[in-house]
Amino acid sequence: MATYAHQDALVSTDWLNDHLHHPSIRIVEVIWGSQAAYGYQSYSSGHIPGAVAWDYEKHYGEARGKIIDRVEYENELSRAGITTDTTVVVYSAVNNLLATFEFWLMKYYGHEDVRLLDGDREKWLSEKRPLEQTIPSYPQTRYQAKAPNESLRSNRTDVLRAIGNESVVLVDARSAEMYQGEFSSGTKHTGHIPGAINLAARREVDADGLFKAWRVPTVRPDGTFRSLQELKVLFEDLGITTDKEIITYCLRGGLSTHAWFVLTQLLGYPNVREYDRSWAEWGNHPDSPIMKGSGPHDIR
């Protein structure tokens, strides 16, 4: 079976279980602090042994409205006892959506060896792997990040220039309902960026209609990634090909960095950038061109 472009970007639950206490490895559970299902409460109830908790809301989040700056991020890594030589393994709940954001952020700030647990927190739990409730503490380091790698990131101006450019593909990783403008995600406007292709996630709700989880088309039911061939077919059938420049976006960076991870780390696409401010910015800006529906019907 063909292997992924960057096979070392993933680690299995078996591998991590065998390396739990390796001194050069730091495990990070990425949580969403204000969310009961996968916030501090969930982490405190039991996490992978040795794992520190990083709060997505403090690294991006709605309140912040932008990604964490370089100095703050250096302090976060230093508190976790991480050096530039540390192997960092990230994981989270909800199909690793928060963890792929952290993976992208670490690459943006130049950390060389960051890996994603193949299969999210739920897979570790389902396999009855060891857990602990102790909050770990490590000797503080003095981490120095590299200059941001701007080739991994897009802003609103980049996206505006991409509209109508046949050499660029915009990938909208939200649900079909959000893409078509049928579901409000708390922004002033609904719909999608003109010309964007929908790599549709499925929004799962509970019996009361409240959000429960995201289901993404790139993973199997157990949370592990689909095969290289399956992923190639998925993206190529949508017209998302290696000869194009790709810009990924979603609501606020989780679904889209998951797509970015698959495209860059697993499929080896050479030119993929993440629009991290995504629809939270685009859908609230008064001058953003927006389309609704699944066809080319421009509402502006």
For the chain, give the number of residues. 300
Domains, the chain, ranges and CATH? 7-126 (3.40.250.10), 150-298 (3.40.250.10)
Are 120 and 11 in contact, with CB atoms under 8 Å apart?
Answer: no
CA dist 180 → 20, 56, 296 (Å): 44, 27, 11
> Comparing 193 with 293, which gets the higher pLDDT?
193
Considering 5-19, 63-77, 281-295, the range whose residues carry the highest mean pLDDT is 5-19
Residue 298 has a pLDDT of: 40
Task: Indicate whether 296 pLDDT > 90.
Answer: no
Q: Which three-class secondary structure string do you get for 140-164?
A: CCCCCCCCCCHHHEECHHHHHHHCC
CA-CA distance, 37 to 43, in Å (whole number)?
9
3-state secondary structure 182-245: CCCCCCCCCCECCCCEECCEEEEECCCCCEEEEECCCECCCCCECCHHHHHHHHHHCCCCCCCE
300 pLDDT more than 70: no
Q: Examine the pLDDT at 34 and tell me if it is beyond 90.
A: no
Per-residue pLDDT of 217-258, as tens digits, reads 999 999 999 999 999 999 999 999 999 999 999 998 999 999
| pLDDT of 299 strictly over 50 | no
Q: What is the pTM of this model?
A: 0.95
Which of 181, 200, 161, 169 shows the shortest CA–CA distance to 298? 181
Q: What is the pLDDT of residues 150-195, one digit of tens each?
A: 999 999 999 999 999 999 999 999 999 999 999 888 899 999 999 9
Catalytic residues: 250
